[in-house]
Amino acid sequence: VEQGLLCLAKLLQLGFGEAGARVISRCLRNGIVALDTHSPGVIVHAFFGFCDIRNFTDLTEVLQADVVQVVNGVGKIVHDSVNKCHGAPNKNIGDAFLLVWKPKGELDIQEVADGALRSYIEAICEIARDKKIIAQTSKEAVQRRIPGYQLRLGFGLHYGWAIECAIGSQHKVDVSYLSPHVNIASRLEAASKQYGVSILLSGDVFELLS
């Protein structure tokens, strides 16, 4: 039984992420047997990041079902770098990822800010030398569609408050963050394309870096 519960806990952590684990923990402590979408959320202050795979539509049309290998390869690298640098992946949204870094415990906010930026840089470097990703993006059909194509990511990063909560209904629940600050991170990622850069930070993040 104990082993089964441990396995279930790991699956819940995998499915709902760090934020979901906290919400489920609160429910269990309060004797609630289901995620209550009517309960108020919790306000948190954090760094919110969006990561997006460039030229994903073209890549999908060429690779078809094989594009999943690219997405999951990128996801593993991005998630690993974020986890290593004091953060946690929150949502996988097709070709994009919502990432969160929360100052907690003995971690100084400056350390977390540096960690968030460092995780982006590490992800870019790892993806550039990942053999499996290179093998997929170097295929003749991909290069014919996008000559000289190399997989690139766009990143946006912002600091602010958000409501950590269960979103949805009894049919489907996601544990995520509601805030204009999360939207700003998404818009920064989108704007990175216009500026021709891989990473775009808000002034709020820049002021917190060491």
Distance CA 176, CA 57 (A): 26
State residue 165's pLDDT score: 87
- Mean pLDDT over 105-112 rounds to 91
Which pLDDT score is estimated for 1? 59
- Pick the more confident residue, 65 or 105: 65
pLDDT > 90? residue 206 = yes
What single DSSP character describes residue 37?
T
Query: Given pLDDT bands bounded at 50, 70 and 90, which one contains residue 40?
Result: confident
What pLDDT does 17 receive?
Answer: 57
Residue 57 to residues 94, 95, 146, Cα–Cα distance (Å): 11, 9, 11
Q: What's the pLDDT band for 11 if we cut at 50, 70, 90?
A: low
Residue ranges per structural domain of the chain? 39-206
Alpha-carbon distance of 163 to 156, in angstroms, equals 19
Give the residue carrying structure tokens 């990143």: 155
Of 36-50, 93-107, 183-197, the range with the lowest mean pLDDT is 36-50
What's the pLDDT score for residue 87? 96
What is the predicted pLDDT for the residue at 162? 97
Confidence of residue 106 (pLDDT cuts 50, 70, 90): confident
Residue type (1 letter), 152: R
> Average pLDDT, whole number, for the chain?
88
Query: Cβ(165)–Cβ(40) under 8 Å?
Result: yes
Q: How far is CA 40 from CA 34, 35, 136, 150, 165, in A?
A: 15, 12, 45, 44, 7
- Give the three-state DSSP class for 201: strand
More confident residue, 10 or 41: 41
Residues 165-198 have pLDDT tens digits of 888 877 777 888 999 999 999 999 999 999 999 9
**110, 208 Cβ separation under 8 angstroms:** yes
Contact between 182 and 165 (Cβ < 8 Å): no
Q: What is the dihedral of CA 142, 148, 150, 152, to 10 degrees?
A: -110
Handedness of CA 56, 20, 199, 139 (dihedral sign): negative
Q: What is the pLDDT of residue 171?
A: 75
CATH superfamily of 39-206: Nucleotide cyclase, GGDEF domain (3.30.70.1230)
Give start and end residues of each alpha helix (H) in the chain: 2-29, 56-63, 67-84, 109-128, 131-137, 140-145, 180-195, 203-206
Q: What is the pLDDT of residues 120-169, one digit of tens each?
A: 999 999 999 999 999 999 999 999 999 999 999 999 999 999 999 888 87
Measured CA to CA, the distance from residue 144 to residue 142 in angstroms comes to 5
- Whether 202 shows a pLDDT value over 90: the answer reads yes
Compute the distance between CA of residue 35 and CA of residue 7 in angstroms, rounded to an integer: 20
Window from 14-18, 87-91, 127-131 with minimum mean pLDDT: 14-18
